Amino acid sequence: MAEEVQKKRSPWVYVGVGCAAAVVLSCGFVVIAGFAGFQALKGWGEDLQDPARRESKARKEALATLGAVPEGYSAALTIGFPMVFDMILFIDAPLLADGGVPEFTRQFMFMRFMETERTADMKAFFESDGGVAFQSDNVQLDAKEELARGNFQHAGRLVRWVAMKGRVRTQNQFDRDEDSILTTMLFECPDNGQVRMATWQMREPEGTWEAKGTVADPEEMKKLLSLLLPCGK
């Protein structure tokens, strides 16, 4: 499919994307109860208390899921429930040994989750020319202005994207309490009952803004994804 980029006329949207394990039920997911779920929560808590373990686990998950870590980024955090939901968060700065949050400019978050009845709404948001939105109680994308949308091919698969000004909230220590340039991506992978998408954000540049060189630039998106296999190996 030919690459395309277009402006959107209706800039005001509020989008919620299924992500946080703590509220996964509100997205229509059914959390697998019992030992597997307990072990997932227990392991997540231990990871938060041990920075080295947290980084090692996030990097291992990135290699297993995406085949690589984006160039210039650190694998900062991973959260997941078996067969239900996985999230890996990357930042463009080295991690601190004490587990604190370093100064970083860009943050990339990849998500893989079960397909539900909300999937059609999510795809409509990426495919529509405007006026379509969906929401949940998990990752909150507060969009103040849509900048552009389009698509391109990566590893033989279509990537749909929407760039906007706003902020994303995921209830983890890497959240920024400031407006950003934010791009959401939907990866058209083989139908296996899972949805794969991502958010990529950066601090809003000072002065006159233009897309070139930012997370709203399709060429920058291609560079970010160059080593990654979002649909799996």
Does residue 168 fall inside a structural domain? yes
Helix %, strand %, coil % of the chain (to 5): 25, 35, 40
Q: Does some domain include residue 233?
A: no
Q: Check residue 32 and give its pLDDT.
A: 40
CB 165 within 8 A of CB 204: yes
Containing structural domain, residue 164: 4-225
Which has more confidence, 123 or 181?
Answer: 181
∠ CA(184), CA(187), CA(189), 5° rounding? 165
Domain count within the chain: 1
Q: Across 2-16, 67-81, 118-132, 213-227, which has the greatest mean pLDDT?
A: 213-227
Q: Among 38-42, 52-56, 88-92, where is mean pLDDT lowest?
A: 38-42
**Confidence at residue 33, expressed as pLDDT on a 0 to 100 scale:** 37
Higher pLDDT, 79 or 139: 79
Total-model pTM: 0.78
Is 232 a member of any domain? no
First to last CA, the chain: 22
C-alpha to C-alpha distances, 54 to 11, 38, 76, 106, 182, nearest whole angstrom: 37, 18, 7, 20, 25
Q: Which two tokens stand for residue 185?
A: 């991506």
Q: Which residues of 197-216 are buried (b: 16+ CB within 10 A; e: fewer)?
A: bbbbbbeeeeeeeebeebbb
pLDDT at 38 over 90: no
pLDDT value of residue 133:
56
- Looking at the domain assignment, is residue 230 inside a domain? no
pLDDT of 104 reads 87
Strand partners for 158: 153
- Give 84's contacts (C-beta < 8 A, 6+ positions apart): 24, 29, 30, 31, 32, 113, 114
- Whole-number pLDDT of residue 92: 93
Alpha-carbon dihedral 58, 60, 62, 67, rounded to 10 degrees: 170
